[in-house]
Chains A and B, each alone.
Chain A
Amino acid sequence: AQSVTQLGSHVSVSEGALVLLRCNYSSSVPPYLFWYVQYPNQGLQLLLKYTTGATLVKGINGFEAEFKKSETSFHLTKPSAHMSDAAEYFCAALEANTGFQKLVFGTGTRLLVSP
């Protein structure tokens, strides 16, 4: 079964610094991959997704992620952190099985941004 690993439950950066959130998936067959953001007491908002094609995916709010099949990774980056980026970030893989599909999530990474 598919699994998703997010390294680092908490990541702290200064405002203006590079953001790097790590995600690895387990499947030998690359799944569809997603990054979601969750603000306190809210649901999940899609940041970006990788399905097929270009391996560098650009999302909302200046985030991007690169799919690397050789490393089974889909790390999320942002060149310059803003205070408003402080939130919980989840990486997820879409597990397809005979027409049925479900999302498998990592445990999340809390991004802390300091002034």
Chain B
Amino acid sequence: DAGVTQSPTHLIKTRGQQVTLRCSPKSGHDTVSWYQQALGQGPQFIFQYYEEEERQRGNFPDRFSGHQFPNYSSELNVNALLLGDSALYLCASSSAVSQHATGGTFGSGTRLTVV
């Protein structure tokens, strides 16, 4: 049973560019949450998707957007990249009916470096 898969694992972008990160949830999960983990910090909640809609959003600007597809996979898009967007981006999947029991299953993350 595959866990949460994120791609790519690493990428380097230039300031001002746009980036798309991808996440495939664990089998049986229908909810995807995205977190940003800056160096030396704990993960910060970006937003959560369920039934192809954004359910809640953390304190992130509109440059951060997302999408969920009918197969529950998700994308995180960041426009007009800033140096401060450099971080590890984590995807966590869960089941809407049981998230409280697990907190979600995390992928290995995408390391984004903005130069």
Could you tell me which A residues sit within 8 Å of B by CB distance? Answer: 4, 32, 34, 36, 41-46, 49, 51, 90, 92, 94, 96-97, 100-108
Contacts and interface: CB of A to CB of B under 8 A. Distances in A.
B25 interface: no
Interface in B74-115: 90, 92, 99-109, 111
B111 to A, nearest CB: 8
B45 interface: yes
Contacts of B90: 43-44
21 contacts: A34-B103, A41-B108, A41-B111, A42-B109, A43-B90, A43-B107, A43-B108, A44-B43, A44-B92, A46-B103, A51-B100, A90-B42, A97-B56, A101-B99, A102-B48, A102-B58, A103-B43, A103-B103, A104-B45, A106-B42, A107-B40
A105 B44 contact: yes
A102 B35 CA distance: 10
B7 to A, nearest CB: 13
Q: Which DSSP category, helix, strand, loop or mixed, fits chain A's interface?
A: strand
Given A42-B108, A103-B92, A92 B103 contact: yes
Contact of B101 (A43, A44, A51, A107): A51
B26 to A, nearest CB: 12
Interface residues on B, range: 20 to 34
Nearest to B41: A107
Contacts of A101: 99-100
Interface in B39-68: 40-45, 48, 55-56, 58
A49 B102 contact: yes
B33 interface: yes
Nearest to B96: A99
Scoring B4, B41, B42, B100 by chain A CB atoms within 10 A of each residue's CB, the highest score goes to B42
A43 B33 CA distance: 14
B56 A107 contact: no
Contacts of A92: 42, 103
Contacts of B111: 41
Most chain A CB inside 10 Å of its own CB: which residue of B35, B100, B101: B100
Given A42-B109, A108-B42, 14 more contacts: A36-B103, A43-B108, A44-B43, A45-B106, A49-B102, A90-B43, A94-B100, A100-B48, A100-B55, A100-B56, A102-B33, A103-B103, A103-B104, A107-B41
